Chains A and B, each alone.
Chain A
Amino acid sequence: MENPYKYVRICAWGGPILLIVTIIFWGILGRNIPPYSAGLSAAEFKAQFAPVADQIRVGMTVTIACSVLYFVWGLAITKVMEKVERHNNVLSTLQLWGAGFTTLIFVIPCGIWLTATFRADTLEPGTLQILFDLGWMIFDLAYSLTTLQMVALGVCFLSDRRQVPLFPAWVSWFSIWVGVMFVIEALNPFFKTGPFSRSGTVNYWLEFSIFFLFMAIISVYLFKAIDRLVREEAP
């Protein structure tokens, strides 16, 4: 018997698993809750960073390896989006590419932070700090790749003509809103301290909270949608 949703549920687990990995390995072990302030002097930064470099190295090594799950999760979302699309598959394709590129926004900065840990004891403080800054610049400023995913997802599910849509309208609007709010990350390069700096109230605490919330909420409704499609299409 053919099952059009074979593997889709497994792919959908990529999101929740990556969310947990990110919190534990990138956040806690990687010392990113919150990250080192851009307001620290190079010497202060090295004094705080170098002693915990081994721990951060473990965190980044695991985060890089698991980053691919973001793309896998994105594929599960795309398979559900295809059931909503009427005219063509532009939105589900944009969503998938957005998710795929977001994977790279995990991989590349984590690789740079990993490099910073590699010779943390012998590198000049300024060099060490610039590596850390470089990772954060890419991580925060490449937000449009994820915004692409969020807006495509939201617009697609808003056009769902079912009596009860697969994703509730508020979830779609939430997705679009988070995507639009990511634009605030563009303020990052202009502030070393304060709410718009990389470790600030808005650009870190608020932005990362809504991003993690996005992953959690979309995952919940993704599982519900898959269950429903399986039921509806059961022979």
Chain B
Amino acid sequence: MHGQPGAGNLRERDRTLPGDPGVFFFITADMAMFAVFFLLFMVGQFQDPEGYRASRAALDPVLGLTNTLILVFSGWWMVRAVEAGREGDWRHARTRVLAAMLFGSAFALTKGYEYYAKVSAGVTLTSSEFFGYYFAFTGIHFLHFVLGIGVLAVTVGKLAKPEGAKTLVWLESAAAYWHMVDLLWMVLFPMLYLAGGTA
């Protein structure tokens, strides 16, 4: 996220983190936790590459890619919302956050379908170590996604009655959190669906 070039006050802002610094503490702590998850997975995969490949073959990378595109597209709307907010164009900021929410919600549909398909095929989180990690990691990520949709909904409400700088900090913080949700997925997707190959 960058401010509009040429706007002096925005350049000043660019030197620091956008939004509330406390939110970045939360984001850093959260990503550190996911880093531990990724490490556990890598160790597991290193110890049992064949087992992981066999399990991975049951995943559909097209669904994983679809989810990646959904989150990236939704994130792009959020970037545009912040741009509008920085220009004081609250009306457009609000419609763009709504768009981010609407397109982002599609993630719940594809993920829900994927869980449903796995569980009906008898694949659950106790099926193998790989699927234990798959359900645990994507489940915790999904929870972050649901919290994010809630945050975006509150943001839409706040943008209806904007309070200047205070609302901009909220908008930027919400955008930072929402980007964390897509960033984590962008690591989860290649790690679970692609890396290490399939059997």
Q: Give residues of chain A (168-193) contacting chain B, Cβ–Cβ below 8 Å.
A: 169-170, 172-174, 176-177, 180-181, 183-184, 187, 190-191
Give B30's nearest chain A residue, CB to CB: A177
B125 engages A177 (CB within 8 Å): no
User: In angstroms, how far is the closest chain A Cβ from the Cβ of B43?
Assistant: 10
B21 engages A169 (CB within 8 Å): yes
Size of the A side of the interface (Cβ < 8 Å), in residues, is 21
User: In angstroms, how far is the closest chain B Cβ from the Cβ of A160?
Assistant: 12
Q: How far is the CA of A172 from the CA of B22 in the complex (A)?
A: 8
Determine the chain B residues whose CB is within 8 A of the CB of A181 once the complex forms.
Answer: 33
**Can you list 20 A-B pairs with a CB-CB distance of less than 8 A?**
A169-B21, A169-B22, A170-B21, A170-B22, A170-B25, A173-B25, A176-B26, A177-B25, A177-B26, A177-B29, A184-B136, A184-B140, A187-B125, A190-B132, A194-B129, A201-B36, A201-B40, A202-B36, A202-B40, A206-B33
B23 engages A173 (CB within 8 Å): yes
B113 within 8 A of A: no
User: In angstroms, how far is the closest chain A Cβ from the Cβ of B35?
Assistant: 12
Determine the chain B residues whose CB is within 8 A of the CB of A172 once the complex forms.
Answer: 22
How many interface contacts (CB-CB < 8 Å) are there between A and B?
Answer: 49
User: In angstroms, how far is the closest chain B Cβ from the Cβ of A208?
Assistant: 14
- The majority secondary structure among interface residues of chain B is helix
**Interface size class for chain B?**
20 to 34
Determine the chain A residues whose CB is within 8 A of the CB of B29 once the complex forms.
Answer: 173-174, 177
**What 18 new A-B contacts, CB under 8 Å, besides A176-B26, A201-B36?**
A169-B21, A170-B21, A170-B22, A172-B22, A173-B22, A173-B23, A173-B25, A173-B29, A174-B29, A183-B143, A187-B125, A187-B136, A190-B125, A194-B129, A195-B40, A196-B132, A202-B37, A206-B33
B25 engages A169 (CB within 8 Å): yes
Give A197's nearest chain B residue, CB to CB: B132
A21 within 8 A of B: no
Q: How far is the CA of A54 from the CA of B23 in the complex (A)?
A: 47
Determine the chain B residues whose CB is within 8 A of the CB of A137 once the complex forms.
Answer: none
- Nearest 9 pairs between A and B by C-beta? A169-B22, A173-B22, A173-B26, A173-B25, A170-B25, A177-B29, A190-B125, A195-B40, A177-B26
